[in-house]
């Protein structure tokens, strides 16, 4: 099991102690608090509503499974307030180079969601067993069909065109970022993103992220991310604009 890493950070407009720590397991307070933050942040998000079939009962299982997959197959960090009490106030989930959500290989990722039709060599059984299989089994048939026939293959094709072939697989791809509303605007999200950039930069790696709302697009633009493509997206519950963003040195990507 990966050992947790922690580094002190200074938050703008705050003299209180803070810490960025890596979450290295599913049975710890930091993991549970991170899931709570995600559920609260994305409760009314139209993309999330489509992904869970507009079923409130699946909101927590979805984010539990998503975060668990990142802990087991990628990396998850929290910003933790250490005063007056120790608790997570922000969370970021990321997959590093040659890592992918629910898969050992990003090229296989959209096959994962179609179940036992595919062999164990194309997916991480550990990530799936940590919550995804249970979530998937509870989805209605129309939502599962949307995932497998539309959302995943369309996203894979669009990302390849936007980032370029192989770029996302070789990058640090951030999949989740959320901050407790009481701590928004204090630099929590910025510190988490910068932590990933600081890990990627010495290696010459790119950092990539997708966005579905304008506030997030502005947030990443202000932190040096370049938008490299956007497209209108249709889900089960609504439509939204899906965009791809990258921060890279010349050595990390050729355009």
Residue 96: inside a domain, yes or no? yes
- DSSP 3-state assignment of 61? helix
- Rounded to an integer, what distance in angstroms lies between the CA atom of residue 216 and that of residue 45? 12
The yes-or-no verdict on residue 39 having pLDDT over 70 is yes
Residue 229: inside a domain, yes or no? no
Whole-angstrom Cα Rg for the chain:
17
Q: What pLDDT score does 104 carry?
A: 46
> Residue holding tokens 């932190």?
223
> pLDDT tens across 46-94, in order?
999 999 999 999 999 999 999 999 999 999 999 998 877 789 999 999 9
Domain containing residue 57: CATH number: 3.40.630
Number of structural domains (the chain) is: 1
Residue 240: inside a domain, yes or no? no
pTM: 0.85
Residue 157: inside a domain, yes or no? yes
> Residue holding tokens 């079939």?
53
Residue 223: inside a domain, yes or no? no
Residue 225: inside a domain, yes or no? no
Q: What pLDDT score does 92 carry?
A: 99
Q: What pLDDT score does 53 carry?
A: 96
Residue 212: inside a domain, yes or no? no
Residue 208: inside a domain, yes or no? no
> pLDDT tens across 238-255, in order?
899 999 999 986 544 443
Q: Label residue 27 exposed, middle or buried (CB < 10 Å: 0-12, 13-18, 19+).
A: exposed
Q: What pLDDT score does 126 carry?
A: 67
CA–CA distances in Å: residue 135 to residues 10, 99, 252: 38, 22, 36
Mean of pLDDT over the chain: 84
- Rounded to an integer, what distance in angstroms lies between the CA atom of residue 69 and that of residue 116? 18
Q: How confident is residue 124, by pLDDT bands cut at 50, 70 and 90?
A: low
Residues of the domain holding 176 = 6-203
Q: What is the mean pLDDT of residues 166-186?
A: 94
The yes-or-no verdict on residue 183 having pLDDT over 80 is yes
- Rounded to an integer, what distance in angstroms lies between the CA atom of residue 152 and that of residue 177? 20
Q: What pLDDT score does 120 carry?
A: 37
Strand order in the sheet with 239-247: 6-9, 18-22, 75-81, 87-95, 172-179, 207-211, 239-247, 226-234
Q: Which residue has the higher pLDDT, 113 or 60?
A: 60
């Amino acid at each position: 099991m990966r050992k947790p890493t922690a580094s002190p950070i200074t938050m703008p407009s705050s003299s209180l102690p803070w810490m960025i720590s890596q979450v290295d397991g599913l049975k710890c307070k930091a993991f549970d608090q991170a899931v709570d933050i995600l559920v609260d942040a994305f409760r009314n998000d139209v993309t999330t509503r489509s992904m869970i079939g507009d079923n409130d009962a699946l909101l927590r299982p979805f984010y539990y499974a998503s975060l668990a997959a990142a802990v087991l197959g990628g990396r998850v960090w929290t910003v933790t307030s250490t005063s007056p009490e120790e608790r997570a106030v922000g969370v970021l989930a990321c997959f590093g180079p040659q890592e992918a959500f629910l898969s050992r290989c990003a090229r296989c990722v959209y096959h994962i969601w179609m179940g036992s039709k595919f062999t164990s060599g194309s997916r991480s059984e550990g990530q799936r067993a940590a919550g995804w299989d249970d979530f998937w089994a509870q989805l209605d048939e129309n939502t599962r069909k949307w995932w497998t026939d539309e959302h995943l293959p369309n996203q894979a094709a669009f990302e390849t065109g936007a980032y370029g072939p192989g770029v996302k697989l070789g990058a640090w791809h951030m999949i989740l970022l959320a901050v407790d509303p009481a701590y928004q605007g204090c630099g929590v999200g910025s510190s988490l993103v910068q932590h990933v950039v600081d890990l990627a930069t010495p290696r010459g790696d790119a950092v990539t992220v997708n966005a579905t709302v304008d506030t997030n697009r502005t947030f990443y633009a202000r932190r040096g991310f370049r938008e490299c493509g956007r497209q209108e997206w249709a889900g089960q519950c609504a439509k939204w604009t899906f965009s791809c963003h990258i921060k890279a040195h010349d050595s990390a990507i050729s355009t």
